[in-house]
């Protein structure tokens, strides 16, 4: 819940600190003193649009900071942990936002965060219910959520299951439709890939084959020249009076005198080695050199041309063509797998929809059984809010399965002598505020996970006994649902019922008007209630009346 709120340079507020405890708190003050700016500050923390007009005159920026203490499993903490903005063991969240001429900044526990994050975590932390809450109250979705809240956790869990299953089924259907829409293109691409793969596979290409063919073609094309050169080399080595004979003579000459000069032994050995090597070369040259084979050359040229055609289509060389073949095979497998997925996706969509429908049917049974109870509970509370005789009807209209279930809700309210009609037809803002408060109290409090509720002028249009009933209902809402409630009010009957009281006061110093927020206790609270009652904080009768209000509220 919200423990501390700090506002700086917002409107007429130079600096205000508001410390809140558990239970209900009232915020009061003269008209124009700045108490509604606290609600504006909450709006900024919820991700609302910043307006430079909110910056206090003479200041360069406005700042709002709030400190929350949450239980370890709070959804806001889980979301922030996913973003690495809160350590796993931390349960305190400090949200700060500045508004400046050149823009602004958002920080969560000291770390910079986008403004969009506030729109995600804000509603999980604080719920602001203003005088114009009828815009949400007339929403059929909100009305069915109130009914589910009245039923309890079983209905809320079923509603979540229905919504998740229907959304997942819808996503699966769209996925199947997308696969079907592209099936023709996929078949066309499969045909092309199959042809290309078949063409490359039929060629039986090997890496480096083109280079081998080039070398073999060159050898065959120059067979005659090669044969002449080899023959000449062989004759030079092993012909009449050729090189081998002369080397043998040199070796024999050295051998005849080597015993006379031992240093010649080495030369003789080297001549022996040379003679052996040249004998091997002569033997190799003596092998038959193939003559020109026109048929073999033509076959090589044909094969090389075939590989060249593949390279023009699929890659610069044999390796590139083989690489393309592997990619084409993988792509074909992917396309074939996608085609086979269509039926699986369809089956998944059907299964998800069946799960959603089964959960929705169980939820429908709970809703239809509980609707009369919510109606009666709301009527009883409205009776205490000076709306005796008001009838409440929660009509459940069957519909096709959607994220909200198998029915849509329409809340209708009637007054004595008038049949029930939709909430959107009720013109009185005060009546709508009281209906909304009654529904909240009957359904268990917050419409979401927020443990702090802020009511802005929820008592508009009421007074006297009804005003006191509104205050008691707000206090009861806090106690029954274990919620922290902050109400901005101008009615003493409402303020007297709160567990804590805070006062906003205008202060003029040096020609500058500022607003100061102070907690009120004891005589200070009695004086403020006296002012609200009669505009005479020093009046003894007003003080007696204020004291009586506090005593009545304490005994309620």
Q: Show pLDDT as tens, one digit a residue, over the chain (556 residues).
A: 899 998 888 887 888 888 888 899 999 888 766 677 778 888 888 888 877 888 888 888 999 999 999 888 888 898 899 888 888 888 899 999 998 877 789 999 989 998 889 888 888 888 887 545 566 777 888 889 889 989 988 998 999 999 999 999 999 999 888 777 777 788 888 889 999 999 999 999 888 888 888 887 877 776 667 666 766 777 677 666 667 777 777 777 777 777 777 777 787 788 788 888 877 877 777 665 656 667 877 888 898 888 999 999 998 899 999 999 999 999 988 887 776 778 888 899 999 999 999 999 999 999 999 999 999 999 998 888 878 888 999 999 999 999 999 999 999 998 888 888 888 776 566 677 778 888 888 887 655 667 888 887 677 667 777 788 888 888 888 888 788 899 888 889 999 999 999 998 887 776 666 777 889 999 999 999 998 887 776 778 888 888 888 888 875 5
Class of domain 1-22+32-127+499-519: alpha beta
| Cα gap 70→2, rounded to integer Å | 9
- What is d(CA 127, CA 123) in angstroms, rounded to the nearest whole number? 6
For residues 169 and 356, the answer to whether their CB atoms sit within 8 Å is yes
Q: Which ranges in the chain are annotated with CATH 3.40.50.300?
A: 1-22+32-127+499-519
d(CA 486, CA 2): 10
- CA 132 to CA 525: how far, in whole Å? 29
Cβ(127)–Cβ(447) below 8 Å? yes
Q: Which two tokens stand for residue 436?
A: 């909304």
- Check if the beta carbon of residue 179 is closer than 8 Å to that of residue 341: yes
Question: Are the beta carbons of 70 and 89 closer than 8 angstroms?
Answer: no
Q: How far is CA 109 from the centre of its chain?
A: 20
Distance CA 27, CA 488 (A): 5
Q: 53, 40 in Cβ contact below 8 A?
A: no
Kindly report whether the global pTM for this prediction surpasses the value 0.85: no
């Amino acid at each position: 819940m919200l423990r501390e709120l700090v506002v700086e340079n917002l409107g007429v507020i130079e600096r205000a600190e508001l410390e809140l405890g558990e239970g209900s708190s009232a915020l009061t003050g003269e008209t124009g003193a700045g108490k509604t700016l606290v609600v504006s500050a909450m709006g900024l923390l919820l991700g609302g649009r910043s307006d430079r007009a909110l910056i206090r005159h003479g200041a360069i920026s406005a700042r709002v900071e709030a400190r929350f203490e949450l239980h370890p499993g709070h959804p806001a903490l889980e979301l922030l942990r996913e973003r690495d903005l809160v350590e796993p063991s931390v349960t305190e969240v400090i949200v700060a936002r500045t508004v400046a001429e050149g823009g602004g900044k958002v920080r969560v526990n000291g770390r910079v965060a986008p403004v969009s994050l506030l729109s995600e975590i804000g509603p999980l932390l604080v719920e602001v219910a203003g005088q114009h809450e009828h815009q949400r109250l007339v929403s059929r979705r909100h009305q069915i959520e109130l009914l589910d809240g009245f039923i309890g956790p079983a209905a809320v869990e079923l509603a979540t299951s229905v919504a998740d299953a229907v959304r997942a089924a819808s996503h699966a259907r769209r996925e199947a439709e997308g696969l079907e829409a592209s099936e023709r293109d996929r078949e066309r691409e499969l045909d092309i890939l199959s042809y290309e793969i078949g063409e490359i596979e039929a060629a039986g290409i090997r890496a480096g084959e083109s280079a081998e063919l080039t070398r073999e073609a060159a050898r065959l094309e120059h067979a005659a020249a090669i044969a002449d050169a080899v023959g000449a080399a062989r004759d030079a080595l092993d012909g009449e009076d050729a090189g081998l004979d002369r080397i043998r003579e040199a070796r024999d000459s050295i051998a005849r005198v080597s015993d006379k000069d031992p240093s010649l032994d080495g030369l003789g050995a080297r001549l022996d080695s040379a003679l052996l090597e040249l004998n091997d070369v002569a033997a190799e040259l003596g092998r038959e050199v193939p003559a020109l084979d026109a048929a073999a050359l033509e076959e090589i040229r044909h094969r090389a041309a075939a590989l060249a055609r593949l390279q023009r289509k699929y890659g610069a060389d044999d390796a590139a063509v083989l690489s393309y073949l592997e990619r084409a095979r993988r792509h074909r497998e992917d396309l074939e797998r996608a085609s086979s997925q269509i039926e699986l996706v369809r089956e998944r969509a059907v299964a998800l929809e069946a799960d959603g429908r089964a959960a929705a049917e169980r939820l429908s049974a709970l809703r239809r059984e509980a609707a009369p109870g919510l109606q009666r509970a709301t009527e009883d509370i409205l009776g205490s809010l000076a709306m005796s005789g008001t009838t409440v009807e929660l009509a459940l209209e069957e519909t096709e399965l959607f994220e909200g279930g198998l029915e849509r809700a329409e809340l209708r309210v009637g007054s004595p002598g008038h049949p029930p009609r939709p909430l959107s037809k009720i013109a009185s803002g005060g009546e709508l505020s009281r209906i909304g408060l009654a529904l909240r109290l009957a359904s268990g409090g917050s419409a979401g996970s927020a443990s702090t509720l802020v009511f802005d002028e929820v008592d508009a249009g009421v007074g006297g006994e009804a005003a006191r009933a509104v205050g008691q209902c707000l206090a009861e809402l806090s106690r029954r649902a274990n919620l922290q409630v902050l109400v901005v009010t101008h009615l003493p009957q409402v303020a007297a019922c709160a567990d804590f009281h805070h006062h906003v006061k205008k202060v003029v110093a040096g020609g500058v008007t500022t607003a100061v927020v102070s907690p009120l206790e004891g005589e200070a609270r009695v004086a403020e209630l006296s002012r609200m009652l009669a505009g005479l904080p020093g009046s003894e009768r007003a003080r007696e009346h204020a004291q009586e209000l506090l005593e009545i509220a304490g005994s309620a």
